[in-house]
A and B are shown apart, each in its own frame.
Chain A
Amino acid sequence: MKSTGKKKLYLLFLNLFFICVCLLALVPVLYVFLLSLSSGGGALITGASGSLTLENYRKIIVEKPFLQWLFNSIVLSVGTMLLAMITSIGASYAFSRFRFRGKNAAMQLLLLLNAFPQILSMFAIFRLFRLMNLLDSHAGLIFIYAGSMCIFGIWNMKGYFDSIPIEIEEAAKIDGSGNLQLILRIIMPLARPAIIVTAVMVLIFVWNEYLFATTFMLREESYTLAGGLYQLQANDYSRSWPLFSAAAILVSVPILVIFFCIQKHMVSGLTAGGVKG
């Protein structure tokens, strides 16, 4: 009897503790959400007091090139996703199914290249792109993003492809399917969880990238959402926190929705490649 009472007290204490931790985790987000609803533009706001308004959201959509930025973000993320997925599905199929000389060495080299922070070669890419006239173009950014995400894709999907029994393919081969048909008809449907998680990771990566997006894009109208948001708070004179907060919330919502949709697959889709290694 005494021990159940003790246990209850312990659980109560633990619950209180976790409520505090959750609050700590959410406070910055909640505060910004409140800021985005506060009236009074400029920097003279008094926080959560005053009336709540959606004015900031209207302003950010109508007065700033928000829709243009959104369009750029969508073009870049979809373009990158297509390029990265097409190249990496082919390569990870080859790595998973064929034996060829230098395979393991190539996989290790890819891992090493992936460990190199891309920021460090940014200047070299900048010079290269100037030469190739790819600065200030969506195609240029798509190449950069796809190039770095391609390695992640190969590693992440190869592990999953390995777990698909090869007998299924052999049956189809006897029926006379070519390799390309095998990938499209058999591998891709079977590996759907890994492919979806990889594609979504690419999408999120591009959506969140601001450094290359601001360094390689020279005009405000070609910015992505990330670049535009960065610009909103970096520009000293037009700085307006409520406006910035509204933009921050708008930019995060799609990512939050996607994230919580695939969260269930996240652990399995991400670790299938790594654990086996």
Chain B
Amino acid sequence: MKKHSTKIYAWLYCLPAFTLIGVIVLFPILYTGYISLTNMNLYHWQDYTFVGADNYIRALVKVDSGFLSALATTLLWTAVNMILDVAIAYLLAVGLNVEGLRARRIYKTLLVFPWAMPAYVSILVWRVGMFNTEFGLLNRFLTALGFDKMDFLSRNVPAFLSCMTLNLWMSLPYMIVMIDGGLQSIDRSMYESAILDGANPWQKNWYITIPSLKKIMAPIIIMTTFTMFKQFDILYLLTMQKGAVSGSTLQTIITYAHQNAFVSNNYGLSSAVSMVIFVFIIVFSLWTNRAARTERSEQ
């Protein structure tokens, strides 16, 4: 009797949350899956018909649909950003923990600033204050040094590098704080015995610091990889705002799906792309889950 009643309570407490999530998150995803099988677009808003897997074939097989190049850009973007993010944050965090660095609290507080700023404000601020051809600080530097002005966002490669710089500026503080927290949790005595054994700083980093950080950092690195993969705001706000398209044709898969839905009104194709992305995410998270589990069972 008692067991029965706790079960009812459990579902009762979950009900409001599940209803909300069901309507706002789960149903739209299923609906997106449904739309992906139709030819819904601006001309077929109500009288759309089923086209089966046509949208998927168009996205995945036809090279000129742009999806495959967007996918390549996304993978390159995620990989380059992750490597630089972790490497630079690691160097800075190790630097911050050098013994005798008295001003480290001040540095830490100042370095956190880009993290605390609202993301879209930072992006718009960079667009206006840094990359802008007329007033941007970067172009002022260039002209002051005698170079020609440069439109950072009009061609693909400079646009990619500009977006990357901004992304690193925004994401490094979080990574520094996390690695810094990890560094402080490492047992000091390990270093002392390493010094007694005559290890140099490089060896200490390689054989003590990095292996100890691995465990603590794994979930954070996986989460950050998701965030980088999903990054939409930077590319969208810098290069493809309505009425202010900068000229570069750079697309990640997320901006590609968004453009197809809200600019070219090709809802079927956009939804198909969304579902493909969702499958990627499911596979990736299952894979990381399994990797984490096997690592845990090995210990």
Binding site for B on A (CB under 8 A): 7, 11, 14-15, 17-18, 21-22, 25-29, 31-32, 35, 43, 45, 47, 83, 86-88, 90-91, 93-95, 98-100, 106, 110-113, 115-125, 127-128, 143-144, 146-148, 150-151, 154, 179, 204, 207-208, 210-211, 215, 226, 229-230, 233-234, 236, 241, 244-245, 248, 251-252, 255-256, 259-260, 263, 267, 274-275, 277
Contact = CB atoms under 8 A, between A and B. Distances in A.
A18 B125 contact: no
Given A22-B110, A98-B9, A259 B274 contact: no
Interface of B: 6-7, 9-11, 13-14, 16-18, 20-21, 23-29, 31-32, 35, 92, 95-96, 98, 100-101, 103, 107, 109-122, 124-130, 134-135, 137, 140, 169, 173, 177-178, 181, 219, 226, 230, 232-233, 241-244, 254, 257-258, 261-262, 267, 270-271, 274, 277-278, 281-282, 285
A52 to B, nearest CB: 17
Contacts of A112: 281-282, 285
Given A31-B137, A116-B278, 18 more contacts: A17-B95, A21-B107, A26-B110, A45-B135, A99-B10, A116-B281, A117-B232, A119-B258, A121-B32, A122-B258, A128-B31, A147-B23, A208-B119, A234-B244, A245-B128, A248-B121, A252-B117, A277-B219
Contacts of B7: 98, 100
A277 B270 CA distance: 35
A144 B242 contact: no
A234 B237 CA distance: 9
10 contacts: A14-B95, A91-B16, A95-B14, A99-B6, A124-B32, A125-B28, A128-B27, A146-B24, A230-B120, A230-B124
Nearest to A34: B129
Q: Which of B103, B120, B127, B243 has the most CB of A within 10 A?
A: B120
A90 B117 contact: no
A83 B127 CA distance: 35
A121 B32 CA distance: 6
A21 B128 CA distance: 22
A226 B111 CA distance: 24
Contacts of A15: 101, 103
A179 B10 CA distance: 10
Contacts of B20: 83, 87, 143, 146-147, 150
Contacts of B267: 123
Contacts, number: 231
Contacts of A86: 16
A123 B262 contact: yes
A118 B230 CA distance: 10
Contacts of A143: 20, 23-24
Given A18-B103, A94-B9, A116-B278, A87 B23 contact: no
Contacts of B137: 27-28, 31
Nearest to A232: B124
A47 B118 CA distance: 23
B292 to A, nearest CB: 8
Contacts of A154: 17
A236 B118 contact: no
B24 to A, nearest CB: 3
Nearest to B216: A275
Question: Which of A121, A128, A154 has the largest number of chain B CB atoms within 10 A?
Answer: A121
Contacts of A31: 129-130, 137
B11 to A, nearest CB: 7
B118 A208 contact: yes
A95 B10 CA distance: 8
A14 B11 CA distance: 57
A233 B20 CA distance: 34
Nearest to A151: B21
